[in-house]
Amino acid sequence: MNNNYTLGMIGLGTMGRNLLLNMADKGFRVTGYDKDEKMLKKLEEDGKAHQLKGFESLEDFIKSLELPRRIVLLVPAGPIVDSVIAELVPLLDKDDVIIDSGNSHFTDTSRRAKELSEQGIHFFGMGISGGEEGARFGPSMMPGGDKTAYESVQPIFEAVSAKVNGDPCVAYIGPGASGHFVKMVHNGIEYAMMQILAETYDLLKNGLKYNNDQIYALFNKWNNGRLKSFLLEVTKDIFKVKDEKTGGLLIDVIKDEAKSKGTGKWTTQVSVDLQLPIPTINEAVSTRDLSKFKALRVALANSLPHEAIHIKDTANFEVQLEQALYFAMITSYAQGLHLLEQASTEFKYELNLKKISQIWRGGCIIRAELLEDIFQAYTKQPKLPHLYSDESIQSQLKDILPGTRAVVIAAISNGIAIPCYASAITYYDSFRTANSPLNLTQAQRDFFGAHTFERIDEAGIFHADWNANN
């Protein structure tokens, strides 16, 4: 069998198959492997124009690849990745390349890279965002790890990635597991933005008593302005989809329990480990968890009713809500980027936030007009300490702050839960507070646990006898 394929894909589900089709469209000779014969037939059907073929035999698949072999894994994260690698390794040669493009936890990626390096095999992790459509027509890709290995596939990935102003939405992220780490944080921001849109929907439905058509119209209007983003675009379209069973709108028959695959939770966990606050992202993760207690929520809604004070000035509230949504979006990005900066130092990832914001502008789920402003902020000041520190962002925050506060007050007055909106404004207020009340917390710690404290008028570490005057 001739070694004539440039790259091979293991896992021909939706993402793997569409990414292969994208590569074939760009003129690359690619093939795939899957244990499921249906997936192989689907690849052949969809890839008929390029005469795409796949393999049911792993050995034949491996033999069909050019040396050094370049193999992309698009299989479910976790033990399955380790299982596939274990099957692959005996069939590979030194300097072959394995690329894990699933949503693997970054610690797993670090471990696998070390283990495979000791066997002479290149390995790196690459986060991919954009879903089915992105994979097919241009995703955002976040490769990190073995730079030499990445360079061997760089032309392929740059060709198939999304483009913004001619720039490919893929770039080498950094060493180690940085690619999967950045994708994890991307997903954390995604959680926050989805929850903010859900809270906006709640305010429109239960605060302004808007029907689905009115909500669609407003979201559609906003998506033509500064809020333009992939998530708002798909959200507005949800309010037009009919349910085949009832004839009504599908949104009205979907149970209000949100599931998750874990990447949001991982973002929350690592933020706690790094002692860097991302409260809006954390609230989004917590709210999905709280939604699962449906029976308890129904019971408490009956026993703890709240009489809402309906919002009457709808036109003014619409303006304020657009401002609050923009404020919360800025804050979600700010928290994620701040976490990346901290992780870069802690894990020696050498992250370039300008580059990351650049490749997030197209292809990925969190792409938005706002990312152009963020990209410009990091272009002007690559070592920007926080997104709030940029003068242009500061000017925007000042303009929309009164409307944001008004929305949060109205929501609380009406008994509408807004965990992400409330956390965003509190995060902002906490960061703009020069002298916080946490001197009291440190005094308490020293009082009952002799944990010491620092003074504002003298250098050093101190402990007080708090009972001396009692």
- Kindly state the average pLDDT of the residues 418-438: 97
- Kindly state the average pLDDT of the residues 110-136: 94
User: According to the model, what pLDDT value does residue 1 have?
Assistant: 46
- Kindly state the average pLDDT of the residues 196-204: 97
Using the predicted structure, report yes or no on whether residue 155 has a pLDDT greater than 80.
yes
> Is residue 354 annotated as part of the catalytic site, yes or no?
no
Please give the domain boundaries of the chain with CATH numbers for all domains: 7-176 (3.40.50.720), 183-431 (1.10.1040.10), 437-470 (1.20.5.320)
| Cα angle 339, 343, 346; round to 5 | 140
Query: How far from chain centre, in Å, is Cα 465?
Result: 48
Amino acid residing at 143:
P
- Kindly state the average pLDDT of the residues 320-335: 98
Using the predicted structure, report yes or no on whether residue 401 has a pLDDT greater than 80.
yes
Query: Taking the model in full, what pTM does it have?
Result: 0.94
Q: Which of 86, 100, 80 is nearest to 146 (CA)?
A: 100
Q: What is the pLDDT of residues 30-50, one digit of tens each?
A: 999 999 999 999 999 999 999
Q: What is the pLDDT of residues 248-280, one digit of tens each?
A: 999 999 999 998 888 899 999 999 999 999 999
Point out the catalytic residue in the list 42, 59, 183, 322: 183
> Is residue 355 annotated as part of the catalytic site, yes or no?
no
Point out the catalytic residue in the list 44, 133, 190, 257: 190
Round the average pLDDT of the chain to a whole number and report it.
95
Place of tokens 């809270």: 199
| Cα angle 190, 196, 201; round to 5 | 125
Using the predicted structure, report yes or no on whether residue 232 has a pLDDT greater than 60.
yes
User: According to the model, what pLDDT value does residue 309 have?
Assistant: 74
d(CA 333, CA 326) in angstroms, rounded, equals 11
User: According to the model, what pLDDT value does residue 2 have?
Assistant: 54
Residue % of the chain over a pLDDT of 90: 94
Segment (H or E) for 8: strand 7-10
User: According to the model, what pLDDT value does residue 291 have?
Assistant: 97
- Kindly state the average pLDDT of the residues 298-327: 92
Band (pLDDT 50/70/90 cuts) for residue 351 is: very high
